[in-house]
Structure 1
C-alpha cells in the first residue's frame, strides 16, 4: 500500500491516531518526556580525532601550547591524506600562522598535565571554507545519498532506539559528520520518532512502509548502526560488539568488538565505535556497496496519454500551442504557530494553479515547518501566485521563506497570460 504525495500527511496522521487508540501508554510515549538529543551541526568543519601528543616544555602552559601546535600539524597531514587518499608522509606542510587561521578548535579527548610535560589525545577541527583551498583537487569529496540513521542499543536483553535517551544515541549526536562522505540524516528523537523509528522497524522488509518513512524524513536510504553491550559485573569492564547494517534488508557492512575498562570509559569507547562505523560506511561507499535500494524509489504515476493524432482536415496553429512545463520541487519554510496555521498554509498552497502536491516534511508547531511543493511550471510564477495570495516570499538557503504580508501591504499585480 503506497500513499500518493498528496495523501502522505494524511497517512501519517492516521498512523499516529491508530497508535494512540492502542492505549494511553502509547500516546504518553509519543508526547511525554524529553527524549530528543539534538545532533551537533558540523557542516562547516572537518574533524580529525585521535591525535597523540607528548611534549616537554619549560612550564606546564608552555608544554600544553606546544602540544596543541603539534596536534595542529599532525591533524592537518592526517586530514590531507584522508581527503586525497594518499599516505600521510606525502602531505605538504603549512606554517603555524596558516594553521592558526584554518583551525576552528581543539577537542581534548584525554590529557595529563605535569610541571613540564603534556601528554594528551586531541582532536582538531578545521574550518571547511578556509581549509578547502589547501586540500587541492581532492577536497571535493563525493557524498552519498541522504541516509536515515536509526541507532539501536542492545543491553540487558532489550533493544532501544529513541524510546529513551541512551549512550549510543548520545554518541551519534556528538559525532561531527561534516568530514564524512556519508550524508547522515540524524533524527532528534522526540515527537513521533520513538514510535516510527525503532528496532522492530529495522527488521521490517515491507518497502511501502519504508518509502513512507524515508519521504517523511527526507532520506533516500537507511543505515542501522547497532551495538551489543555485555558487562562482566556492575561497574566493571564493558564489552561492546558493533554491527554496521545498511538498507531495509539489514545488510551487514562490518562487525568489530571494543572493550572499556569500566562504565566511565564507555562513552569514549562508543565514540570510537561511531568513528569506525562511519569509516566502514565510507569504505563501502567507495566500493559501490552503499547505493540506495532501487525498491525504495517512489515512482510517480505516469501522466495520462495524450492523443496527438491529427485529422486530415484539421489545422493546428503551432504558435498558439503551450510549451511543455517541467515539474519543480521547491522547499518552503513556513511559520506555523499552531496546527491551524499549518492547515491554512497547506490549503493555500494546494489552491495555487500548477501545484501538484504540498507535503509537510518537517513539522515544528510554534516554529518553522518545511513544506515540499511539486510545482508544474516556472518557480517565478509560483512566487507571484503566492504574493498575490497575501504571502511575503523571501529567498532562504536554496528554498523560499513564506511570511504573512502586512495587512496594509497591497499584493503585486499578476500579469495577464
Structure 2
C-alpha cells in the first residue's frame, strides 16, 4: 500500500521503553552466557508501530472519476474522495448526526492532512481507486462540534496473541496479527495503547505464557518496563480451511493481569491475500470493544497492581502451628529463679520473620540486621529458600509492633501480619 502525504502532515511515534539489562542480569544469575542470551533474541523479529496522532482517518473510499487527461482525472478523484470522507466522518463523529454540513472543496482540502492510496487504476481519462483520507484534528474538531479534551484511558500495554497451526505466539516471530496492531492508527482511539516493537528483549519478556501469570509483582515489573498502567490482550485464532482457501478467524478481547474476557466475534477472509484487510478490520472492532469497556468503567487499571504484598492470616497461623512451642519458653522453665525473673521482667516473645533472600549473602545480612536490633535475644533460620522467601524465628523482649518499628528504623521495609513480619530491603 502506497501512502501519499501532504507536506504539512506531521506524525509522532510513541514507543515503549525497554531495558535489556534486566535480562542480561537474569541470564548471568542463572549461569547462562551472553552468547546464548543473544541467540534467544536474534532473528527476524520486531515491527515498529506506525506514527499515530489524534487525527481522524476515514478508509475504504471508492472513487471513479474522469478528466481530460490522467492527472485531471486523478485530481477529480481525490476531491471526490475528500467529499465522501467528510460525509462519512460527520456521520460517525459529528455531534448533530444526520447529513454533513455542506462545505466547499477548498475548506475540506484545508482540513485534510494526508491521502492514503489503498488501490488505484489510472487510465488516459479515468481514475478508479480506493482511498483513505486523514483529517487534521485541530482543523476539523471545530466543524464537528468537539470542545475540550476527550477522556482517554490509562496507558495500556498491548500483547497481541496469535493462535494458528496449533502454535501460540506473540513476538517470537513476525506475525500478521502483530503487523495489524503495528499499523493501527491509535490516534483516534480513546484507549492509550502502548505497542511494543517486538524485537530484542520483547520476545523474551512478552510471551504467550505471560498472559496466564497472576503474580502482581511480576506484572508490575513488566508494566514498568513499558511505562504502562495495565494490559490489554487481543487474541486471534486463525483456521485455514485448505491451502489458498478461506481463513476463519475467531477474535477475543481480554484485559488485565487476570486475563478477563470482554467480548468476542468471528470473521472470515476469502483467501490469503484478503487476510491483512480482515485483521485490520478485526483490530478496529476489538478497539471498539475496549472503548465500550472504558465507557462502562471496566477498563480502569487493576488496583491490586499497586498494592504491597500482604500476608494471608491463614498462612501465618499454619506456619506458627508448624513451628511449635518457642524454645525460649522451654529454657525459662528449666532454668533457675534468676532466669525466670529475667524472663518475666523482659516479657520475651517469639515471632516468625520472613525475609527475601535472592542469594546466600542476603541470608547472612538479614540475620545480622535482626540480631543487631535492641531487645532481640536470639534469631535463627528455620527455612532457607535462595531466590525466594526464607523464615527465621526471633525471640524479642517486647511486642511485635515494637520489633517492627525497630526494624523500620534500620531501613527495612516491613509488612506486618498476625504474629509475623515480612522484611525486605
TM-score scaled to structure 2, two decimals?
Answer: 0.62
- The answer to whether the aligner puts 1:264 opposite 2:256 as a matched pair is no
Contact 2:27 2:37 in 1 (8 A): no
- The answer to whether the aligner puts 1:211 opposite 2:220 as a matched pair is yes
Q: Indicate which of 164, 172, 175 corresponds to 1:155.
A: 164
CA distance in 1, matches of 2:291, 2:309: 31
Q: Indicate which of 23, 40, 45 corresponds to 1:29.
A: 40
Cα deviation code 1:31-83 (max 9, x no counterpart):
x2241211111125321223333445565544443332222123223334434
Call closer, same or farther: CA 1:217–1:50 in 2, change over 3 Å. Answer: same
Cα deviation code 1:305-362 (max 9, x no counterpart):
xxxxxxxxxxxxxxxxxxxxxxxxxxxxxxxxxxxxxxxxxxxxxxxxxxxxxxxxxx
- The answer to whether the aligner puts 1:223 opposite 2:232 as a matched pair is yes
- The answer to whether the aligner puts 1:235 opposite 2:244 as a matched pair is yes
The corresponding residue for 1:67 is: 77
The corresponding residue for 1:95 is: 104
Contact 1:211 1:298 in 2 (8 A): no
- Match runs of 1:281-320 below 5 Å: 281-297=290-306
- Match runs of 1:378-417 below 5 Å: none
Q: How far does residue 118 in structure 1 lie from its aligned partner after superposition?
A: 4.4
- The answer to whether the aligner puts 1:248 opposite 2:249 as a matched pair is no
Q: What is the RMSD of the two structures over their aligned residues, measured on CA atoms?
A: 3.0
Contact 1:55 1:67 in 2 (8 A): yes
Structure possessing the higher radius of gyration over alpha carbons: 2
Call closer, same or farther: CA 1:36–1:66 in 2, change over 3 Å. Answer: same
Q: How far does residue 86 in structure 1 lie from its aligned partner after superposition?
A: 4.9
The corresponding residue for 1:15 is: 26
The corresponding residue for 1:412 is: none
Q: How many residues align?
A: 292
The corresponding residue for 2:346 is: none
Structure 2 segments unaligned to the other structure (5+ residues):
1-18, 311-425
CA distance in 1, matches of 2:252, 2:30: 30
- Match runs of 1:302-381 below 5 Å: none
Contact 1:175 1:271 in 2 (8 A): yes
TM-score scaled to structure 1, two decimals?
Answer: 0.63
Contact 1:43 1:178 in 2 (8 A): yes
Call closer, same or farther: CA 1:234–1:207 in 2, change over 3 Å. Answer: same
Q: How far does residue 205 in structure 1 lie from its aligned partner after superposition?
A: 1.6
